[in-house]
Structure 1
Amino acid sequence: MTFNENANVGGNRARRRGAGAAVAGGGIAGIGAIAVLLFQLFTGQDLSGLVPAPQTGSGAESEIQQCETGADANRDDACRLAAGSVVLDEYWETQVQGYRAPQLVIVDGQTGTQCGTASNQTGPFYCPPEETVYIDPTFFGLLRQQFDASAGDLAQLYVLAHEYGHHVQYITGVMEQHPNNGTGPDSNGVRTELQADCFAGAWVGDMTELEDDNGVPYLKAPTQQQIADAINAAGTVGDDHIQQETGGTVNPESWTHGSSEQRQRWFETGYQSGPSACDTFGVAGGSL
């Protein structure tokens, strides 16, 4: 996804925290270890002891530097995510009465949170008690290396939008109404994740309509290839695909996020029909 170069993305609330990690893949012992990290991320099983820990950050925060225009966002992953947060906040303000923006923290290396350690080992996540999204941009390199997933501009923004979807679920009471009830293809956890995919698709469908204070659209219309990349990214992180790629058998009873087909389909549902079509909790298990 390409930002219009003269769009104003300054004033974003994103912060950087950590000590500065190596480039994607640095400090990780090969493709097998990357598979372990992603298996952990998308199944919820803690296998972090099998891979080296990244450098630990001090917890100090700073602004995202040189992130004022769409041109800045097109050059730098951290700025792209920060700029994406601006557009996401403006979108959800039009969709959710009383919307309040989450904090976005760009992680360099590793940092502590109320929901556990944030790093590229844990992947992007939303921490409800902090109302904060954590993303280490080197995570996108892991997707490229292990699963041949596109980590292009729109695929990155899909990941960010998915985590913002969890924030919307938290502040609107969805998480409270449908608490975690274990794993499985019909679990609340899977339904929660698929709804976040649908919310991400809804934002992608409308994001080019949002403009800065000068009337400049933040984003150019996505190409068909960019949409395909985002859908591919959704499919790549399906539970069944992760299980297959990590050498295991496909076990739906252990699913926490949904299958590749489901994640792609719910993303496309949101993209085509908007957030009102995203009631994954109202769908019978066999049709989810």
Structure 2
Amino acid sequence: MEFRDDVDLDASQVDDRGSSGGGGIPGGGLTIGGGLVGVVVLVVALFLGVDPAGLLNGGGSDSTASQPGENLNEKCRKGSDANQSEKCRVVGVVNSIQSYWQGALPEHFQQTYGKAGTTLVSGTWSTGCGRATSAMGPFYCPADRGVYLDLGFFRELEDRFGAKGGPFAQAYVIGHEYGHHVQNLLGTMNRAGRDRTGADSGSVRLELQADCYAGAWAKNAVTTGFFEAPFTDSDIREGLDAAEAIGDDRIQERTQGRVDPESWTHGSSRQRVHWFTTGYTTGSPARCDTFTGAV
């Protein structure tokens, strides 16, 4: 996964508030806000061993909030910077994803596409969906159209959950979160309704569609002009490995020694790999209808 050295980066799409490089339990992309606040947040938080109190308390500052980070507008100017720096790589991936979706959405959405910012964070911080912590893992908040990411999540993914990691594993996770942004813009989040848990629940279908959207971007990423060449088989294996590592069944097996499909909120390893692969092999978001038929 290599960026074109001379491509211009738009670092204004990413705000660094001091991502610590600490840890967080992988939720596979916890979606909060909109129609998913409440029960699903509580269920996921308890399942992952996260204290949900802060998340449900609403906004407000906190003494452990992230401190100001680097000025990415100065640090991340060109693709060559993204090839050398993890934070600049996030900038490049975000730029590519948003460029892709601005052209891939149905025509009547293209002119009104609202870019979602990514915030690099650590500790505890405020969002439009309430207070959040690094322990939740990466997530998208529909209320403020923001993606929140502690880079330490990727180390936790490798050290605790056995993922191989790598640059494209990170890109897959970011692509998944921006899949939620697309769902928010299209109104798809409402389709999950109150069907919060289970292997074929509305929540799982929403998450699997975001995986599929990540695959569709990956297939078309080179057309955005940010990358030297299409992603390699090795890159895609990193993404598939990450998808497997954050399947509900894999996490349950590692954390509680048993698998309970009735409590799934994001999908099994098999489901996540299948839907990312569907998006990647077809390159078509239209093939990402997880709400029709079996998943």
The interval holding the TM-score normalised by the smaller chain is 0.7 to 0.9
Q: For residues 56-109 of structure 1, give each alpha carbon's deviation from its aligned partner in whole angstroms, at most 9, with x where no partner exists.
A: 226768742411111211222221112111111110011122321111111143
Partner of 2:125: helix, strand, or coil?
A: strand
Cα 1:165–1:224 change in 2 (3 A) is same
Partner of 1:85: helix, strand, or coil?
A: helix
Determine which of 123, 128, 131 is the counterpart of 2:137.
123
Instruction: State the identity %.
Output: 38
Determine which of 256, 261, 272 is the counterpart of 2:281.
272
Paired letter, 2:214:
A
Please give the root-mean-square deviation of Cα atoms over the aligned residues, in Å: 2.5
Paired letter, 2:200:
D
Paired letter, 2:119:
V
Greater mean deviation of Cα atoms: 178-187 or 234-243: 178-187
Residue segments in structure 1 that go unaligned for 5+ positions in a row: 26-33, 212-216
**Distance in 1 between residues matched to 2:170 and 2:28, nearest whole Å:** 20
Mapping of 1:1-288 within 5 angstroms? 1-18=1-18, 21=20, 23-24=21-22, 37-38=25-26, 44-46=44-46, 47-48=49-50, 56-57=64-65, 63-64=71-72, 65-96=74-105, 97=109, 98-211=112-225, 217-273=226-282, 274-283=284-293, 287-288=294-295
Paired letter, 2:289:
D
**Distance in 2 between residues matched to 1:40 and 1:177, nearest whole Å:** 19
Q: TM-score, normalised by structure 2?
A: 0.82
Cα 1:234–1:85 change in 2 (3 A) is same
How far did residue 45 of structure 1 move?
3.0
**Distance in 2 between residues matched to 1:14 and 1:166, nearest whole Å:** 17
Cα 1:171–1:39 change in 2 (3 A) is closer
Residue segments in structure 2 that go unaligned for 5+ positions in a row: 31-42, 52-61
Partner of 2:222: helix, strand, or coil?
A: helix
**Distance in 2 between residues matched to 1:117 and 1:189, nearest whole Å:** 21
**Distance in 2 between residues matched to 1:61 and 1:238, nearest whole Å:** 31
**Distance in 1 between residues matched to 2:28 and 2:145, nearest whole Å:** 23
**Distance in 2 between residues matched to 1:218 and 1:147, nearest whole Å:** 29
Partner of 1:45: helix, strand, or coil?
A: helix
Cα 1:69–1:192 change in 2 (3 A) is same
How far did residue 120 of structure 1 move?
2.9
Q: TM-score, normalised by structure 1?
A: 0.84
**Distance in 2 between residues matched to 1:55 and 1:207, nearest whole Å:** 39
Partner of 1:159: helix, strand, or coil?
A: helix
Paired letter, 1:251:
D
**Distance in 2 between residues matched to 1:106 and 1:219, nearest whole Å:** 26
**Distance in 2 between residues matched to 1:62 and 1:117, nearest whole Å:** 22
Greater mean deviation of Cα atoms: 68-77 or 161-170: 68-77
